[in-house]
Amino acid sequence: MGHHSAVVLLLVALLVPAVAAAKTPEQIFQQASQSVVVIHAYDVDGNPINQGGGVVTARELVTTNCHVIEGAASLEVHYRQQTYGANPSAANEERDLCQIRVPQLNAPRVTLNTGRVRVGQRVYAIGAPEGLELTLSEGLISSLREFDGSQYIQTSAGISQGSSGGGLFDIEGRLIGITAFFVGEGPNLNFALPAAWIVELERGGRARATVGEQEPAEVRWLRRVSDARAKKDWTAVVSLSQQWVRVAPKSARAWQELGDAYAATNRPRRAIPAYQQALRYNGDSFDAWHNLGWTYLALNQYDRAIEAIQEALRIRPGHPRAIYNLGAAYHGQGLRDKVQDVHAQLRRLDPALAGQFAKRYVKP
C-alpha cells in the first residue's frame, strides 16, 4: 500500500467516529422524549381547563409555559402511563416561563444547551398536540428575535395547538428552548423560549427583578410592541402581541394590540375576535370599538361596522375620523342622505377631512 493510500485510510478512520456520533431523528426522539411530559390543568370542580407539554429540567422539576397552568386549581403530570400530582414552583409570567414540582417523578433531566444558537441550525420539536401521544417535528432555526434582553427562537419546526411547553432540541438531543406559541397563519412562525431563561428562573424564581423593571408590566409590553412597530417588523408585532395575551389574558389593551397587529398585516378576520376580547374586558374602549368598526368596514360588513362605530362615537362624540368611517359605511349601504349628513358634520369639524370624504363618497 502506498503512502497516499495509507493517508486516505487514516483520514477515513478518523472521520468514522464523528459520523457515527451524529444522532438520527429517531435516536433524538428516543432520547429526548424520555424527559417530556404532558400536563393537565383543572379548575376547582375538577374540570379540565388546559393541557400542554413540559420538560424535566431538574430532579422532580418540570419547566413549561405559564399559560399552560394559569388559573388551575390542580395539576396532573402524565408520564409513561403514570399520573402524578404537581404544584407550582417558580414563575416568570412576563416571559411565560414557569416550573412545577412533581414529587416521585422518576424521569431523566434534559441536558441544556444555553450557548449561542444559529439561524439555519437544524432542530427538533417534541410535544403533545391536543393531549395526544408525543410527536416529533423537524425544522430549522429561521430567526432570532430580540426580547427582554435575550432572543426568542423562531423555528420552522411545527408547533401545533396544545404543544406549548414542549421542548426544542438540537441535533445532539440537548434542549435549546421551550416551545411557546405559534402565529396561526403563514409558514415558519413558531417560537420557543431560550434555555438560558430556564437557568435564570432556577436561580432566582423571577428572573432579573431589577429596579428598572418596577414599571407596570403593561408599560413594558407596550414599549416592546411599539418598538417592533416602529421597525415595521410586523411578524414581531404579531408574535409579541400573541405572547402578551397569553401572559395577560384579561388585558383589554393586550387584545387590542393583537387586533391592531392582525389588521396591520391584512388579516381582518383574525383581528375581529381579538377586538371583541378587548371589549369584553373594557367595553368603553374607543379605540377597540373604532378599530373593530373599521375592520368590519374592510370586510364590507356595513351593518356591523355602523354598530361598532356608533359605540365609538358614544364614547367620543364628534370624533372626526370615526364620523368619516361611519359615512363610509353608510356609503356602502347606499344611504345617500346619511352620507350627506356626515359630510356636513365633517365640514364643521375638519374641513380637510371633509374634502377627502367628498372626493370618495359624495356624488356630484
72 three-state secondary structure: coil
DSSP annotation of 36 = E
State the cell numbers at 163. 404543544
Span 276-301, average pLDDT: 95
Per-residue pLDDT, 17: 45
Q: Which of 304, 262, 255 minimizes the C-alpha distance to 283? A: 255
State the cell numbers at 31. 432520547
Q: Which of 189, 190, 192, 188 minimizes the C-alpha distance to 178? A: 192
Which residues have CB under 8 Å from 264's CB, separation 6+? 229, 234, 237
Report the percentage of the chain scoring pLDDT > 90.
Answer: 48
In this model, does residue 188 exceed pLDDT 50? no
Q: Which of 18-27, 108-117, 232-241, 301-310 has the least mean pLDDT?
A: 18-27
Q: 16 pLDDT band (50/70/90 cuts)? A: very low
Residue 58, beta-bridge partner list = 61
In this model, does residue 183 exceed pLDDT 60? no
Residue, of 177 and 4, whose pLDDT is higher: 177
Per-residue pLDDT, 2: 54
Span 217-230, average pLDDT: 82
- Tens digit of pLDDT for each residue in 265-287? 888 999 999 999 999 999 999 99
- Can you say whether the dihedral through the CA atoms of 131, 136, 137, 140 is positive or negative? positive
Site of grid cell 396544545: 162
| List of domains in the chain | 34-101 (2.40.10.10), 215-361 (1.25.40.10)
- Tens digit of pLDDT for each residue in 35-77? 999 999 998 888 888 888 899 999 999 999 888 888 789 999 9
Could you give the C-alpha distances from 170 to 129, 201, 267, 357, in angstroms and in order?
20, 21, 33, 56
d(Cα 158, Cα 189) in Å, to the nearest integer? 9
Per-residue pLDDT, 226: 87
d(Cα 180, Cα 195) in Å, to the nearest integer? 12
Highest mean pLDDT among 34-48, 281-295, 350-364: 281-295
Residue, of 250 and 94, whose pLDDT is higher: 250
Q: 320 pLDDT band (50/70/90 cuts)? A: very high
Amino acid in position 247: V
- Backbone φ and ψ for 180, nearest 5 degrees, come out as -110, -50
- Backbone φ and ψ for 101, nearest 5 degrees, come out as -95, 130
